[in-house]
Amino acid sequence: MIFRTIGWFASLVCLLSLSACSIVSDLAPSKDAAVNVHDWIVVPVYYRTNRCKTGVAGVFSDSDLNHEGRFFGVKNVIVPLPPDATLAAGTADKMGWQLMHLETPPAAGKKPPIPKNCKIADREMSAPEIIAAFNASRRSSGQDHVVLFVHGCCATFDTSIERAAKIAVHMQLPLVVYDWVSPIGFTNYLKNETLAEQELDDFTHFLISLEKLIPANTTSVIGHSLGAKFVDSAMVRRWERLRNTHGATKYDEIIFSNPDLDANAYIAHCADVAANTNHVRIYMNTEDGRLRTSALAHGDYPRLGRPEKLLPQLCQTPGQDIIDVTAVGAGHEMPFWVVADLHHSGKLGSERTFKLEPSGQHLFVLRKQGLISNQSGGTAQVDDGRLCQCNAQY
């Protein structure tokens, strides 16, 4: 009997160890897959952060929360120029970006150094200073529209602003990142959730302040992974404040990319979220390993970015579209080019190898171009890719 108990216990420990390894793998930070990249772009990213300073200008702690205040500034980030990016003449200059072409690309996983003579210099600022600086940058860009981005779990400051730079390049819009301290590693996952909850009030106040300076109808708000919690909470609170306000201004777009939220909880109030905006777009991935792990950690309840059996319920809200990007193969990473294409035109670019297939009410699935199955069991040629509303039941 004792030996059986020992054997059972050993098996349990082994199982838990394997599960932990899977979780660590699923929640590990995304790796930059840049290989053989000749063309790069330097992007100044405006940020607000609650991380502690490290003593080095523009460098912040990965795990220490600053309880005494918030820091603001702008920092240049270098990212690969997307191979399919088309920059109109003068766009980079207007945005304060710098294009770099290297005859010899850096080694895999490495990046070229950022030039010392950036058009917009790195600097920390006070809240009034960053408002003036960002508005000046926005006017220079010639763009009325701006993006507010909130990153997800287990991200360093550098990871946060790098992802923000990639969003800015794909969308070609001025961007501010709301950066929150989020220690990396599986053992800090619950700590990340707690830190996010502690910041929800601050983010709501930040959003209210931003809305006074930049109209909501010219703003897209993006929450990636656990960052979706900030956006979700702020929009529910906003609607509670404004539901009786005649003609309340709506945000242009609310984007949840791979959202790490409880799907059931979101479904219960998603109509309130949709009431704040002209468009809600939820990017889901049925093979997102991190969201599978998150669901396991939350009692096996589906997450919004991987809703599983709750998908039909999620597709019932007017003004809210669900885009299944599983076929892109991006895992837990944001599908940058898809987000940009749908924001600008409501459809994928004609040069894309993917098309959007309506697959039910408010549900759209990315598939490779060519013959696809239709709901009657036959095949049909996708010829447009437009994000239209389809009344068929999922």
Domain of residue 352, CATH code? 3.40.50
The pLDDT, as a whole number, for residue 391 is: 30
* 55's tokens: 């003593």
In this structure, is residue 141 part of a structural domain?
A: yes
pLDDT at 307 over 90: yes
Q: What predicted TM-score, i.e. pTM, was given to this entire model?
A: 0.87
- The answer to whether residues 130 and 36 touch, using CB atoms and an 8 Å cutoff, is no
Answer whether 367's CB lies under 8 Å from 355's CB: yes
User: Does residue 394 lie in a domain region?
Assistant: no
Question: CA-CA distance, 227 to 214, in Å (whole number)?
Answer: 21
Cα 161 from Cα 100, distance rounded (Å): 19
Is 12 contained in some domain? no
What's the whole-number average pLDDT of the chain? 86
Range of 237's domain?
40-381
CB atoms within 10 A of CB 142: 11
Res 123 pLDDT > 50 = yes
pLDDT greater than 80 at residue 377: no
For position 370, what pLDDT does the model report?
Answer: 66
At 32-74, the pLDDT tens digits run: 567 889 999 999 999 999 999 998 888 899 888 888 889 999 9
Within a domain: residue 153? yes
Angle between helices 189-213 and 227-242 in degrees, nearest 10? 40
**Region at 245 (left for phi over 0; alpha for psi -120 to 50; beta for the rest):** beta
For residue 96, what are its two tokens? 């304060």
Rounded mean pLDDT, 330-341: 96
Evaluate whether residue 194 is within a structural domain. Answer: yes
Our count of domains for the chain comes to 1
Instruction: State the Cα–Cα distance between residues 315 and 363, nearest whole angstrom.
Output: 6
With respect to residue 11, please indicate whether it lies within any of the assigned structural domains: no
Query: Is the distance from CB of 185 to CB of 173 less than 8 angstroms?
Result: no
Ranked by mean pLDDT, the top range of 1-5, 114-118, 377-381 is: 114-118
Question: pLDDT (tens digit, 9 = 90+) per residue, 131-151?
Answer: 999 999 999 999 989 999 999
- Give me the pLDDT at residue 45, please: 98
Has residue 156 got a pLDDT over 90?
yes
Find all residues with CB under 8 Å of 15, minimum gap 6, and list them: none
Coil vs helix vs strand at 164: helix
Give pLDDT, residue 297.
Answer: 93
